Amino acid sequence: MSQKTEVIDLNNKFVVPGFMDNHTHFMSGGSMLMSIDLHSAKTPDVFNSRFQSYVKNIEPGEWVTGGNWDHEHWGGLLPSRLWIDKYTDDNPVLVSRVDGHMALANSKALEIAGIDINTPDPKGGVIVRDQKTGMPTGILKDNAIILVSERIPENSVEKNQRILNTAMKHAASVGITQIHDMCSWGDLNIYRENKPSLTLRIYALPWYTNWKKLIWLIEEDGYGDDHLRWGGMKAMVDGSLGSRTAWMYKPYLDDNTTSGLLRITDTTEFKKIIKEVDDMGIQLAVHAIGDKANDWIIDKFINLSLANGVKDRRSRIEHAQHLTSSAIQKINKYNIIPSMQPYGCIDDTRWMHKRIGRSLMSRSYIFNTFIDQGVNLTFGSDWEVTPLNPLKGIYAAVTRQTLDGSNPQGWFHEQRISVEEAIMCYTKNNAYSGFQENKLGTIEKGKYADFVVLSDDITEIDPENILTTFVLRTTVGGQDVYIHNE
């Protein structure tokens, strides 16, 4: 044994490879930890009181962002700028719904953005309006959010460092040793500037409109290293189910005037972009939630093989949430990676039946189907959309018990998987999805010493107790980044 070898007694505690999260918005998540909390607001009154309290502790003119609200908590009534204007006269507000595809702006923010009764809906977005007056209610969907978000001042260098440190500490405490981050170009620059102090591995997949910058960066500096890489690109076909902007074949059951929307504003240009980045060996990770959106991007992935030749590209569908039978078959046949977030199958399934029919629901969050087919199913959180803690995701995948208690045997219980399979989706399969299967994902000689020590053996305990299991130690590259204090 080398003199440098350190022997640690883990007292027979359960050890797993370091958890990897296949889909985060890491800086947004860190910012959310430091901003107004609306996710736990279960009624409109509590929602409003959170603003009343929050603005007392910030400066006039400072933006109120974050939020993470979910109107389904109080039955589905969308919030309005009129709810919060009386508390936020001095502060512009843009707070996101939990899925990030809908946001609430107050009157001050709408004024700053120049949005009024005459402002047309942008392509790929919706400005929700009062049915009687036609005035904007403050609710903005998908690309309409950008009209306001682009007016928010950039953070200072010091604040970005605080956000990053806050996010990294949280990640370490829940056993995350690597993230696949669906980031902005600015986020990637923050990671590069702070690389010496990173306490987890980051695979950065910046937004697709930065594709020329990404190619230039790769030509100048390569693809990064095993601590910080940037060899992928994120794009988005549609919106979300909760916002009724996921692109479906059929109209929504609770609003037959819409079947969602295609967020890509120039499909010809998009096809050109993905061909060029594929030529550079850049991995594609494309958001698709609706069944029509998934079919659309799968066809584009298949066409890449025809245009650029067959190769090991490992194209990813981020979410792959609602699928046609044809899509399921093609994902398997063409080695497309479904990058899924299991917590959604116990969260948004509380109200999914209001949006779509049972047939399509039966092809939603199909974990066991993909496992049985040998598909490289991967798991993550979409943090800040759902909790970053992978133990909550494992619990969701194993039990599929909806948060409202309405499915004690599991929502479409035939799609439940084992704890061992769920762990694999957070470790080995995620390593493969990031082209790192020879370095990460399992605990074995020759791979990096990324591992997590848990308080309980989650393969042996009652699945209900997974939620009370916690992380004792998180180690990245042999270095402890988190140790639980009793």
Give the tens place of pLDDT for each residue, 454-471.
999 999 999 999 999 999
Judged against a pLDDT cut of 60, whether residue 5 lies above it is answered with yes
Candidate from 4-13, 243-252, 325-334 with smallest mean pLDDT: 4-13
Per DSSP, 352 falls in state G
Q: How many helices and strands, by DSSP H and E, does the chain display?
A: 17, 19
pLDDT for position 7:
81
Give the tens place of pLDDT for each residue, 34-59.
999 999 999 999 999 999 999 999 99
Give the tens place of pLDDT for each residue, 56-112.
999 999 999 999 999 999 999 999 999 999 999 999 999 999 999 999 999 999 999
Give the tens place of pLDDT for each residue, 423-463.
999 999 999 999 999 999 999 999 999 999 999 999 999 99
Q: Alpha helix locations (H) across 285-381? A: 291-308, 325-333, 344-347, 358-361, 367-373
Cα 161 from Cα 191, distance rounded (Å) = 9
323-342 mean pLDDT: 98
Q: Where are the beta strands (DSSP E) in 333-477?
A: 337-340, 378-379, 451-454, 471-476
Cα 71 from Cα 39, distance rounded (Å) = 9
CB 164 within 8 A of CB 140: no
Q: What angle do CA 162, 164, 170 make, to 5 degrees?
A: 100
289-311 mean pLDDT: 96
Residues ≥6 apart with Cβ < 8 Å to 158: none
The chain-wide mean pLDDT, for the chain, equals 96
316-334 mean pLDDT: 98
Taking each helix axis as running N to C, give the angle between helix 157-173 and helix 185-193, from 0 to 180 degrees, rounded to the nearest 10. 80
Percent of the chain residues topping a pLDDT of 70: 99
pLDDT for position 478:
94
152-162 mean pLDDT: 95
Candidate from 1-15, 113-127, 167-181 with smallest mean pLDDT: 1-15
pLDDT for position 3:
56
Domains by residue range for the chain, with CATH: 36-149 (3.10.310.70)
Give the side-chain half-sphere CA count within 13 A for 261.
19
> What is the band of 169 on the pLDDT scale with cuts at 50, 70, 90?
very high
At 315, list the tokens: 């194209």
Judged against a pLDDT cut of 70, whether residue 180 lies above it is answered with yes
pLDDT for position 8:
82
Judged against a pLDDT cut of 70, whether residue 2 lies above it is answered with no
356-361 mean pLDDT: 98
Judged against a pLDDT cut of 90, whether residue 486 lies above it is answered with no
> What is the band of 9 on the pLDDT scale with cuts at 50, 70, 90?
confident
Cα 314 from Cα 283, distance rounded (Å) = 7
Give the tens place of pLDDT for each residue, 266-281.
999 999 999 999 999 9
